[in-house]
Amino acid sequence: MAQELTILGLESSCDDTAAAVVRRDATGRGTILSNVVLRQDDLHAAFGGVVPEIAARAHAEKIDIAVERALTEAGLSLTDCAGVAVTSGPGLIGGVLAGVMCAKALSAATGLPLLGVNHLAGHALTPRLTDGVAFPYLMLLVSGGHCQFLRVEGPETFVRLGGTIDDAPGEAFDKVARLLGLPQPGGPAVEACARDGTDPTSLPRPLLDRAGCDMSFSGLKTAVLRARDAQVARNGGLPRAARADICAGFQAAIRDVLAEKSRRALASGEVTAFAVAGGVAANRSLRDALAAVAAERGLPFVAPPQALCTDNAAMIAWTGIERFDSGRFDDLSLAARPRWPLDQASAPMLGSGKRGAKA
């Protein structure tokens, strides 16, 4: 029997200011009592990407509002919670600091235990919150800033089986959208455009010929640039149909690489399920392909609802709950860490995307 536990979670590592209250009941099941996400899209839209200084200031201005709302929506006060969990890395340092400072203040004022948690652990443990998935399971984190395969063996035990050596797929979707004159965020725009493709452009499947689970996506975007320029040279512009074919070809290349590398990751050891998280996991054609790979091995495919795949504080509160039982808490010396690989033993990644350590 687990101990019933209610934890307040805070998240501010990139461009979402978030607070949530999550409860684990005596059977071990998690319930999200509130999940507040204050987005900053408007603040960054004009710059074509997240501006760290603007993000940090917005987090500092909004984090207490998010906390207040999360408590109100849960119908609880701070003292009804057993602890405060906060993303203490990895991420944009100014934002992480805003969250950590707020959590420290709440802990100091109430005496509640403080838990500094890893943002990536939050994503990786979400399938346990949503679906009660048992360890060990395979997690593919695929977002605007991250792409990695993790074997999740325990609340604090992660083995990285491979990942991108350059761009993350979401970043590639966004860049390709820019190259083709489609709006941001690029993923949904490219996916919508790809639906009209009738003859997908043939593009490379980078690193498929290399053993293991590492991936590379930056070359794909160069291939898209060439395909676009060839169309422009031929037609004096980019016809709609050609744009749709390039989108379809690009999406198929990403899908095929992720599916094959997932197959390899699943073959590397026994797991209870194959789970995905991150914004790119919203892509229908990718989701279907990954579900098929899981089915090949007779494994459940777990894709948490979109709001819990992208950045949120419910996953941070849950990670705090999973850690709470160990009795190891942080104190006011808790540091904000810009870089914090989940698997300390594996070699550092070559790149982590222009948005840094976002997953």
Which one, 32 or 246, has the nearer CB to Zn ion? Answer: 32
232 half-sphere exposure, CB direction, 13 A CA radius: 9
What, of ligand KG4, Zn ion, none, does residue 6 touch, CB below 5 to 8 Å by kind?
none
Which one, 193 or 359, has the nearer CB to Zn ion? Answer: 359
Do residues 244 and 198 touch, judged by C-beta distance below 8 A? Answer: yes
Which positions lie near ligand KG4, rule CB under 6 A? 14, 143-145, 170-171, 173-174, 185-188, 191, 278-280, 282-283, 310-311, 355, 358
As measured in angstroms, the least distance from the Cβ of 175 to ligand KG4 is: 9
Do residues 42 and 339 touch, judged by C-beta distance below 8 A? Answer: no
What, of Zn ion, ligand KG4, none, does residue 341 touch, CB below 5 to 8 Å by kind?
none
Q: Is residue 183 packed enough to be buried (19+ CB in 10 Å), middle (13-18) or exposed (0-12)? A: exposed
Give the long-range contacts of residues 329-335, CB within 8 A, separation 24 or more: 329/83, 329/113, 329/114, 329/115, 330/88, 330/114, 330/115, 330/116, 331/114, 332/104, 332/107, 332/108, 332/114, 334/86, 334/88, 334/100, 334/103, 334/104, 334/114, 334/116, 335/88, 335/100, 335/116
What are the structure tokens assigned to 14, written together?
């990139």
As measured in angstroms, the least distance from the Cβ of 120 to ligand KG4 is: 11
Q: DSSP letter string over 24-87?
A: E-TTS-EEEEEEEEEE-HHHHGGGTS--HHHHHHHHHHHHHHHHHHHHHHHT--GGGSSEEEEE
Residues numbered 300 to 319 that lie near Zn ion (CB under 5 A) are 311
Which one, 74 or 180, has the nearer CB to ligand KG4? Answer: 180
Q: Which x/- pattern over 340-359 shows residues binding Zn ion (rule: CB under 5 A)?
A: -------------------x
What, of ligand KG4, Zn ion, none, does residue 279 touch, CB below 5 to 8 Å by kind?
ligand KG4
Q: Which x/- pattern over 260-299 shows residues binding Zn ion (rule: CB under 5 A)?
A: ----------------------------------------
Helices 284-296 and 240-267, packing angle to 10 deg: 30
Residues numbered 164 to 223 that lie near Zn ion (CB under 5 A) are none
Which of helix, strand or coil describes residue 124? helix
Place of tokens 């996991």: 281
Which one, 15 or 311, has the nearer CB to Zn ion? Answer: 311
As measured in angstroms, the least distance from the Cβ of 358 to Zn ion is: 5
Residue number with the smallest Cβ distance to ligand KG4: 187
As measured in angstroms, the least distance from the Cβ of 274 to Zn ion is: 19
As measured in angstroms, the least distance from the Cβ of 75 to ligand KG4 is: 28
What are the structure tokens assigned to 200, written together?
């997908």
Which one, 104 or 255, has the nearer CB to ligand KG4? Answer: 255
Cα gap 38→11, rounded to integer Å: 10
As measured in angstroms, the least distance from the Cβ of 119 to ligand KG4 is: 11
Which one, 134 or 307, has the nearer CB to ligand KG4? Answer: 307
As measured in angstroms, the least distance from the Cβ of 241 to Zn ion is: 36
Site residues (vs Zn ion, CB under 5 A):
311, 359
